[in-house]
Chain A
Amino acid sequence: MEKYRANLLMCAGTGCVASGTPKVKDALQEELEKQGLADEVKIVLTGCNGFCAEGPVMLVYPEEIFYQKLTVAEVPKLVEEHFLKGRPYEKLMFKDPEKRAAIPLMNDIPFFKHQVLRVLRNKGLIDPDSLDEYIARDGYMAAGKALTEMTPEDIIQTIKDAGIRGRGGAGFPTGLKWEFASKSVADQKFMLCNGDEGDPGAFMDRSVMESDPHSVIEGMLIGAKAIGASKGVIYVRAEYPLAVARLETAIKLCRENGLLGENILGSGFNFDLEIYLGAGAFVCGEETALMRSIEGKRGMPRPRPPFPAHKGLWDKPSVLNNVETLAQIAPTILNGAEWYKSLGTEKSTGTKVFALTGDIKNVGLVEVPMGTPLKTIIYDIGGGMTNKKKKFKSVQMGGPSGGCIPEDHIDIPVTYEDIVKTGAIMGSGGMVVMDEDTCMVSTAKFFLEFTADESCGKCTPCRVGTRVMLDMLTDITEGRGQEGDIEKLEDLSRDIISTSLCGLGQTAPNPVLSTIRYFKHEYEAHIKDHWCEAGICSDLCSFHISEELCKGCGACLRACPQEAIVGEKKKAHRIIQELCIQCRSCYDTCKFASIEVKPAIRKEKPVSAVKEGGDK
């Protein structure tokens, strides 16, 4: 094997590719050749590094120096400084937000410092298309152990002792699921993987499939041995073309090297895998719906029992595990249950991957021990709000099935139990951070739009109920809300939750309930005062310029598409309300926070009309 002086691990995840990795890579390769360094420095394209906000990113081994926001223009300078002169190039390093000092080493950067990588153990370190590199990081050692040294009972006991719970949302104990399927007697069983990441705001499954596809395959192989399955299917979203391509390569390599197929590793165990492309239906996250989809039907859930562990795909015993769950099986088998339990809390063991997004500075994927305070994730790892002047308002967890956690509760440790207490759920780990400019009624409406659209239509309460709730929320955000609407929404929520068949309907009202619970005053202000304090619902707000704060810089005047702002230079400006369309341009432009949001001015109804017996 050739030896290189330096390895450049360039992130080729979807995020960095969109930010320009391919162009930078070409430029870098060209520059290295020009300088005669191509034999000494090797570029490796890796899967998602996780620090998507700073892409394209690159890690230089052996020093472990982290470069971010690479551009083609900076490449010659970078090569000259770092690889010719041996001086790491400060300009492209991560800067400490307060001291503005460059932080050269990846593990010193706060975003990485607090993380513990188990699921993401190989992220950004190996070439996902290389089986050798996976094996070099102890890959398939656990599969070897499980297949040749362990009985199915041993495997299941280890997973049960470790306390691994499904990372897809509900947190059902994985070992128990395997045990049920293992005890079912049938001529054929299936081991399935759910890579149909439908939860908007979560992308850890995509990242794992893209950066470390073998970790999923190895997990499935061990699971297959535990339950006695000879066939497996990975169900992946068609919207994830890179993940599909990487999985296809990985499966092919496994077949060629005897890790899939017949008599794997000489153990006499047979298992083969195929990929099935999902066609886009959120409800297919529900296991019975997903299995129907693989059967080529409409993905509609069916009542349980019979549980899939007895009658699943093609009516054969089946186990469906989430990508993240499967990715942590191999290290657990290798290191034992005690190792796994050494992190986390009593009931929520191990680590969890979160997708940090929204109005947060360090957007990306983070893996932390269960029980880490939410605050640590948002402020220490996430770096706080993107816009330092804006206050934190809430963090949404669990997507359309979850809820919003307000500031008073962000000291809670992230465990399945503690999150449920707040009205949200762990879900697949999406954390969408929202600052004070977010309207919580609109946010609830956004999720209802999603669930009303994605309801498969089987159960009337879910199909019709979510639509009715959405109509009510639309009315509230457009100024037609009525006294008693909040109570009606709560009643309807309870009915939908108690009478829907599957998780989609049972959780669809959660975003509404949790926002009513913590932000009831916002609903009331929308309904009674026609006031959206965040200035998002354009029918329920008006914008005004504070005379004290306005510096007369004219930025808002230039930004206004309606020419509704008047004022002389260096004097306080004014908004002509008749012309204003509440587009927020001035609000977003003003650097001095001089734009104030006040209740709506009812333009179409002059005062006299109201006196003459208008509706209100």
Chain B
Amino acid sequence: MGNIFGRKRRPTRVTEQDRAILQLKQQRDKLKQYQKKITLQLEKERLLAKQLLKDGKKEKALLLLKKKRYQDQLLDKTENQISNLERMVQDIEFAQIEMKVIEGLKVGNDCLKKMHEVMSIEEVERIMDETQEAIEYQRQIDDMLAGSLTQEDEDAVLAELEAITQGEEVELPEVPSESLPEVPEVPEEEPERERVRKQPEREMLAA
């Protein structure tokens, strides 16, 4: 891109892309200045043409208008170029962001890989197996300890449990025998009905 690099102090945080963007933006600035110039010129010429018409110099005015028309076209062109430049700048900026996203993903990926290296599948299998064994072992110990209760005791415990649950059932209140009082068809509507009753006029108005 033919740009001469300025002084370089410290590790600069300005990347090659930044310079490219700057160059594009400088071009845009120049175009904008050019645009300003032409717009001012157009304004002046319009006034001049008016003046010429007033003075009866129609041909001169016509010539001037022709020139103005040409400059109008130039203005359009610069407008296009500016938008081109701006689009380019945005593209570069977006590409930079994408690059950062990919970098981020890469770091994440590396990290994940490293963690996976630590946890190999065999290792996991071994650990799971060992855990299973340990559970088994624990169960055996439990069995041995629980074995101090005989079958008889177990039966007694179960019976007691049943007694307790039955006792609870008995204490339940009787189910009312009479039929339920009349319930409005749609209970949710009840508050609304009340409201309607309170404001009949409003409902009428609404109707």
Q: Do A and B bind? A: no
Report which B residues bind A (CB closer than 8 A): none
Report which A residues bind B (CB closer than 8 A): none
